[in-house]
């Protein structure tokens, strides 16, 4: 039974046809588009070459006329006008330079998206109304946010994530306020002219070596200073002085 069904599907995809299909995505930069042939039940997707006159790239959701062999090559040769009473296909708003905006629905018809494309058919902006999601996409080149006389604020009710191969901050002053901060890095380097730290309590845990190298070192403790180790070794190249009212050894 499975062999007969597979043979039937293969024969159907190799038969030349002319019929209707629905565009499931916007036209690509190479002039091709993915289509789903009209029929009962779920249908596979095929790539088709747009061969009909048009002033702008086709957008998803349009119904088209296709000819050709599904297993080899399909061609879009025309667009189907919607019947009376049905909404017209989404219009394309275009600039004289070739950039354009389209609206399209998901394959199941539950969601609608607004997309803005560059003259080279690269997606620049997308707004998904159903998901409440906005996407700014730059496939090539740089993205700059700049204000000449004002501030830039990034605010979110959830998390704000920044990712990249390198993150550089260049400012006269950097201030961070948070209830809790955590750094997870393989190696952390700090270069500063003057480093000042203030805290109520400081706890540091080092599994192996903790080393401090300084030209001079001074430690001021208002009350009691405790030093405890399994073995202790103190060496001075010149003088070693201890000054106290009482010194207890042993």
Q: Is the dihedral of CA 76, 77, 81, 82 positive or negative?
A: negative
Polymer length in residues for the chain: 250
Per residue in 173-182, pLDDT tens? Answer: 999 999 999 9
Say how far apart CA 104 and CA 106 lie, in whole Å: 7
Say how far apart CA 173 and CA 175 lie, in whole Å: 7
Quote the radius of gyration of the chain (alpha carbons, Å). 34
Name the residue ranges covered by the structural domains of the chain: 16-136
pLDDT less than 70: residues of the chain = 1-15, 39-43, 55-56, 82-92, 105-110
Q: Does domain 16-136 have CATH number 2.40.50.140?
A: yes
What pLDDT score does 59 carry? Answer: 74
pTM value > 0.85? no
Per residue in 63-89, pLDDT tens? Answer: 889 999 887 889 999 888 765 555 555
What pLDDT score does 5 carry? Answer: 32
């Amino acid at each position: 039974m499975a062999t007969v069904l597979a043979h039937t599907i293969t024969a159907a995809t190799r038969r030349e046809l002319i019929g209707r299909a629905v565009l499931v995505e916007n036209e690509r930069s190479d002039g091709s588009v993915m289509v789903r042939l009209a029929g009962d039940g779920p249908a596979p997707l095929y790539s088709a070459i747009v061969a009909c006159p048009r002033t702008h790239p086709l957008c998803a959701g349009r119904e088209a006329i296709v000819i050709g062999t599904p297993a080899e090559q399909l061609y879009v040769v025309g667009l189907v006008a919607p019947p009376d009473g049905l909404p017209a296909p989404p219009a394309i708003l275009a600039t004289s330079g070739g950039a354009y905006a389209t609206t399209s629905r998901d394959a199941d018809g539950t969601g609608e998206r607004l997309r803005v494309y560059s003259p080279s058919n690269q997606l620049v902006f997308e707004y998904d109304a159903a998901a409440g999601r906005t996407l700014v996409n730059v496939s090539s080149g740089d993205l700059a946010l700049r204000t000449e006389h004002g501030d830039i604020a990034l605010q979110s009710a959830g998390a704000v994530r920044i990712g990249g191969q390198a993150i550089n901050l260049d400012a006269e002053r950097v201030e961070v306020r948070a209830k809790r901060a955590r750094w997870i890095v393989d190696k952390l380097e700090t270069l500063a002219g003057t480093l000042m730290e203030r805290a109520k309590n400081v706890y540091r845990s080092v599994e192996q070596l903790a080393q401090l190298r300084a030209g001079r070192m001074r430690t001021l403790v208002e009350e009691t200073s405790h030093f405890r180790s399994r073995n202790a070794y103190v060496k001075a190249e010149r003088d070693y002085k201890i000054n106290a009212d009482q010194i207890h050894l042993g």
